[in-house]
Amino acid sequence: MTTPSFAALLAKYPSTHQHRPRPGTSDCDCEFRFTTAPGLIAARRHSPPGGPPGDEARDEEGGGEAGSSHGYLTHPELVRLVQWKIHHGSYFAALPKLAASNDEDTVRRVTGEAFAILASASPRTSKSDNKERTPTIMAALTRLTRLRGIGPATASLLLSIADGGATVPFFADELFVWARRGFHLDTPLLLLVPKKAGVKVRYSAKEYEELVTAMGEGLRRLRGEGEGVVKASEVEMVARVLGVLGSEGGAGVVVGEREESASTQSKKRKRAAPSSVSPPLPAKGSRSKQTAAARAPSVKAGEPASTERRVMPRRATRRD
């Protein structure tokens, strides 16, 4: 089997990844998750202190500004991202309602505080090293879980967006399993589905910390598969593609430039296998003679078939 490159798998994401469309739409909203939302946070981060009138997040206790200098999310944006999450992974219908129960000021304030904590992380020794940043990332994650309906997995999605998808990973099922497999591109596809891989994901902060630490090494490993810097969000996309290919009904193995489904491979194996079905028995009462082929000696596997005609010696008769 030819091992596909990272770039080739990444290119499959738009046409391969599966999702549940948002209610009333057929859109998977990936454009908002990967491009629009990070751009909104970045724009707010670089806006003048205080931002435009009515656009700053205010501290409920002290009345001061919070988060406007490091970006934040609004209430509708938070709910929309939660919708994206549940339509791309385990479906929890109650999460959007819980997230929507947070008021606008609280969403802006808490996300602003968390993004400010993330921005205060120590300078990275390399563009893919999370080792020194892990404690700060986890502190930002804890701050986000103060919002109703926001657990470690959803909080990691918000941090990944605030980070621009650079090195902070989203706690996705496929990505977590792939991280435990060492981010090898030749990992069997079926092993990237948690249930099939025998991996039980609890979506805990401890598991996410494991993923954050592993991501640094994973980015360095995968960078060798192509030119330029590999981003954590791109690794997430590739993990998703591998997970979809390994899901039930779509298990596939990349062979050169084409894919063959598990069912197709099974059919080929059956066609190639020697038949073990016995020939039909003659009808009851019939005295059909055996054919010459049936009387011919069997040929063992690997032995050339003889073309010579066997002549049986005639039984000698006694003549007195």
Q: Is the pLDDT of residue 262 over 50?
A: no
Report how far apart, in Å, the C-alpha atoms of 38 and of each of 6, 152, 159, 200 are: 23, 19, 10, 30
Residue 82, domain member (yes or no): yes
Backbone φ and ψ of 80, nearest 5°:
-65, -40
The residue assigned the tokens 């360095």 is 220
Q: Is the pLDDT of residue 115 over 70?
A: yes
What mean pLDDT is predicted for residues 244-260? 45
Residue 315, domain member (yes or no): no
Report how far apart, in Å, the C-alpha atoms of 73 and of each of 40, 84, 94, 146, 166 are: 8, 15, 20, 14, 18
Kindly report, residue by residue over 206-226, the tens digit of the pLDDT.
999 999 999 988 888 887 655
What mean pLDDT is predicted for residues 32-53? 79
How far, in Å, CA of 135 to CA of 212, rounded? 10
Residue 277, domain member (yes or no): no
Asked if residues 79 and 49 have their Cβ atoms less than 8 Å apart, the reply is: no
What mean pLDDT is predicted for residues 82-100? 86
Of residues 265 and 6, more confidently modeled? 6
pLDDT of residue 292: 46
Asked if residues 96 and 82 have their Cβ atoms less than 8 Å apart, the reply is: yes
Nearest to 100 by CA among 64, 149, 30, 143: 149
The residue assigned the tokens 């591109």 is 185
How many domains does the chain fold into? 1
Residue 232, domain member (yes or no): yes
Percent share of the chain, pLDDT over 70:
60
Asked if residues 205 and 211 have their Cβ atoms less than 8 Å apart, the reply is: no
Residue 299, domain member (yes or no): no
Asked if residues 180 and 194 have their Cβ atoms less than 8 Å apart, the reply is: no
Of residues 131 and 54, more confidently modeled? 131
Residue 251, domain member (yes or no): yes
**Most confident residue range from 156-160, 219-223, 248-252:** 156-160
Report how far apart, in Å, the C-alpha atoms of 60 and of each of 16, 67, 129, 245 are: 44, 13, 36, 47
Q: Is the pLDDT of residue 146 over 80?
A: yes
pLDDT of residue 59: 39
Percent share of the chain, pLDDT over 90:
39
What mean pLDDT is predicted for residues 224-243? 84
What mean pLDDT is predicted for residues 279-293? 49
pLDDT of residue 215: 93
pLDDT of residue 65: 44
Pair of tokens at residue 58: 């205010």
Of residues 90 and 250, more confidently modeled? 90
Domain carrying residue 236: 6-264
Of residues 176 and 59, more confidently modeled? 176
Q: How confident is the model at residue 254 (pLDDT cuts 50, 70, 90)?
A: very low
How far, in Å, CA of 77 to CA of 103, rounded? 12
Kindly report, residue by residue over 46-80, the tens digit of the pLDDT.
664 444 444 444 433 333 344 457 899 999 999 99
| Mean pLDDT value across the chain | 74
What mean pLDDT is predicted for residues 265-291? 49
pLDDT of residue 143: 98
User: Looking at this protein, which amino acid is placed at residue 294?
Assistant: A
Q: Is the pLDDT of residue 154 over 90?
A: yes
pLDDT of residue 60: 36
Residue 300, domain member (yes or no): no
Q: Is the pLDDT of residue 282 over 70?
A: no
Residue 285, domain member (yes or no): no
What mean pLDDT is predicted for residues 228-256? 72
| Overall pTM surpassing 0.75 (yes/no) | no
